């Protein structure tokens, strides 16, 4: 079965996505690191969490901030999969670097455990977050030393394509950087998600199911 799922908005596709998850899967680590500096109401985070718990999954909230590699490794042994949530992509990658957990996450996925990304969590699954450079967000990650991401896949996701809320972000920050040599980029709408199994990539649109 596939074990990598990349979404723009997990809450909007969770019911369909769950059809591809083994029925014995019970517990996910719900990694909220990317949003921990957000000052808004985080309704999207709440919606993602509720969508998965409504489907019967147990979620444990977790941040990798100030965690050691050993602590992250131990925590992952307690779950069937992880949900890497959205927020500030640069801050999330910075914390991955600080905790030295990139290889830990890659090995976790390689072992067959589930990786579900939502927004920023989908971006960091790729090889590089170069095209995600939003200056206001980058300022919150002063210790980020490179744009190289997890490399769970060589596909780099740009989430929320077509969303009115992200229109200015796309026009001013993303589009000027999209034409980047040697980058495989997929623009993903809020009602789409990607299934990755071995070298096969499938884009599912829940509005067309």
- Residues 6 or more apart whose CB falls under 8 angstroms from that of 119 comprise 7, 8, 9, 34, 44, 85, 86, 87, 159, 160
- Looking at residue 209, what is its pLDDT? 66
Which CATH number covers residue 92? Answer: 3.40.50.880
Per-residue pLDDT of 86-139, as tens digits, reads 999 999 999 999 999 999 999 999 999 999 999 999 999 999 887 765 667 888
DSSP 64-99: -TT--HHHHHHHHTT-SEEEE--S-HHHHHHHHHHH
Q: Closest by alpha carbon to 95, among 64, 136, 132?
A: 64
- Looking at residue 47, what is its pLDDT? 97
Residues forming a β-bridge with 186: 157
Distances (CA, A) of 193 to 28, 86, 91: 18, 14, 23
Domain tally, the chain: 1
Average pLDDT, the chain: 91
- Residues 6 or more apart whose CB falls under 8 angstroms from that of 56 comprise none
- Judge whether 36 and 63 are in contact, CB under 8 Å: yes
- Looking at residue 160, what is its pLDDT? 83
Percent of the chain with pLDDT over 90: 71
Residue 64, token pair as written in the block: 């990798």
Helix (H) or strand (E) segment spanning residue 7? strand 4-7
Q: Range of 184's domain?
A: 4-208
What b/e string do you get for 176-202 counting C-beta neighbours within 10 Å, with b at 16 or more?
eeeeeeebebbebbbbbbbbbeeeebe
Q: How confident is the model at residue 163 (pLDDT cuts 50, 70, 90)?
A: confident
């Amino acid at each position: 079965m596939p074990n990598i799922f990349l979404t723009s908005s997990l809450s909007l596709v969770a019911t369909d996505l769950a059809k591809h998850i083994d029925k014995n899967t019970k517990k996910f680590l719900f990694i909220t690191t990317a949003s921990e500096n957000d000052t808004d109401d985080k309704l999207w985070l709440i919606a993602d969490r509720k969508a998965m718990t409504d489907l019967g999954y147990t979620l444990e909230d977790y941040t990798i901030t100030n965690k050691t590699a050993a602590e992250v490794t131990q925590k992952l042994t307690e779950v069937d999969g992880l949900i890497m949530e959205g927020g500030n992509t640069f801050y999330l990658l910075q914390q991955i670097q600080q905790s030295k957990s990139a290889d830990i996450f890659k090995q976790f996925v390689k072992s067959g455990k589930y990786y579900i990304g939502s927004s920023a969590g989908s971006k960091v699954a790729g090889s590089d977050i170069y095209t995600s450079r939003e200056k206001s967000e980058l300022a919150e990650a002063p210790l980020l030393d490179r744009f190289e991401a997890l490399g769970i896949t060589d596909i780099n996701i740009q989430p929320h394509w077509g969303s009115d809320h992200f229109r200015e972000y796309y026009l001013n920050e993303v589009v000027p950087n999209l034409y980047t040599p040697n980058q495989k980029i997929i623009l993903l709408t809020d009602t789409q998600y990607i299934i990755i199994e071995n070298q096969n990539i499938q884009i599912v649109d829940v509005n067309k199911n």
